[in-house]
Every structure is written in C-alpha cells, then in structure tokens.
Amino acid sequence: MLLENQLPIFILDDLFTLAKTDVLGNSLSQLAKFFFKCHICKDVLIDENLIDSYFSKAKHFVDLLRICLRPPKRDDTKRLDDSEVVPNVTKLHQAGVKFKLAPTTMNLLDIRFNKGTLEIPKLTIGNMTEQLLRNLHIFKGLHCDHANYMNDYGVILNCLLNTSKDVELLIHIGVIDNRILDSEGVSNTFSAT
C-alpha cells in the first residue's frame, strides 16, 4: 500500500493471469478483495462489495482505496470558511456537544453534526493506519485536483484530536479503537497529516 510501490492494476492483472494460479480464487480482483477484507476494510470501514465494483476503474491499489473511501454526496454539506476554526473534542465536550459512534454502515469520512451531536465513524488505529492515510493524502495531492476529501478528513481530525485528552475521550466513547499507540501518539499522527 506504499504509494511508491504501486504498479498499474492492468499489469498486475496480466501477470496474475500468466501465473495461472488459483490462489484464493481465479482473479486478481478476488485476491485483492481478500487482502482488503483481512487487512484494510476493518480499519478504515470499507464495504468490501465496493472493491468488486471499482476494481476495474482503479489505476492501482492506493487509487482503489481512494475510490472506495469516497464520501457519499450530500446536499446539506456546508464548507467552513478559511477563517473558521474547528475546536478540539475537549472544548466541544465542555460546550455541551455530545459525541456518538456513527452507525457501521457509514463511510469513514462521513462525519455528521446533527442536533448537538457529532457522529463520527469508528477509526481503528492499527499498524497500517498512518501509512494508509498518508499515502492517500499524498496521492490525492499529486493526482486529484478536485475534491481532496482525504485532506479534509486529516484537517478535521487534526483539529478535533489536538491533545491526548481529546483522543482518550473518543476512545472511551468507542469512536477510536487504538491498537498500537498511546493517546499522545494518536494525536501526533493527525497533526502530521
């Protein structure tokens, strides 16, 4: 999943076909689906059916991940002005904002604020999380001029998770499943994205 290791999917597909192997199915898309299901889907909330749908449209595996993470289109989206600042979780909590784990059917990037409650999809911090998010951020910056939603996601998490106390509150609620870092490490992960 490193950006610098990406080969075009059509080349990998041809090589897989030439290998004439039946490892985990008879196509590269089935093997990719298995890999994503075991190593990525749980951590970044990807519906594994999207992998089949978008496999042929993706340039390479990081692009496939980017396409599968694309947030749903919503008419009620309000963008912040550059001058507006998002307070961190602790300040929002002190101001009376409630935090809730979003339904598992929601996309990782689909953060919603409704009637005083901020619904955030579960974020699992595992061995690959930081690497995946950084690679997606870099890829979007280099190759996608429009709708840089990975950058937006990184910015909002950087604002929300400003301190270890912010991270601990979201861990307590169940929004963050932290498997490898201390709370300060999680906060630092998003300040660097």
Structure tokens at 94: 């002190």
| Chain centre distance of CA 113 | 19
pLDDT at residue 6 in the model: 77
Cα first-last separation, the chain: 17
pTM: 0.66
At 176, which amino acid appears? I
Q: How far apart are CA 88 and CA 72, in angstroms?
A: 25
Strands 117-120 and 98-101: parallel
Q: What is the pLDDT of residue 44?
A: 64
| Structure confidence at residue 190 (pLDDT) | 66
* CA atoms of 12 and 2, how far apart (whole Å): 16
pLDDT tens-digit profile of 66-120?
777 777 665 555 555 555 678 899 999 999 999 999 886 667 778 888 899 999 9
What would the pLDDT profile of 16-33 be if each residue is shown by its tens digit? 888 876 665 678 888 887
What is residue 49's predicted lDDT score, i.e. its pLDDT?
75
pLDDT digits (tens, 9 = 90+) for 145-191: 556 667 777 778 888 988 889 989 999 999 888 877 677 777 766 66
Q: In the prediction, which pLDDT does 39 show?
A: 64
Q: Where are the domains of the chain?
A: 3-69, 89-191
Tokens of 111: 């953060």
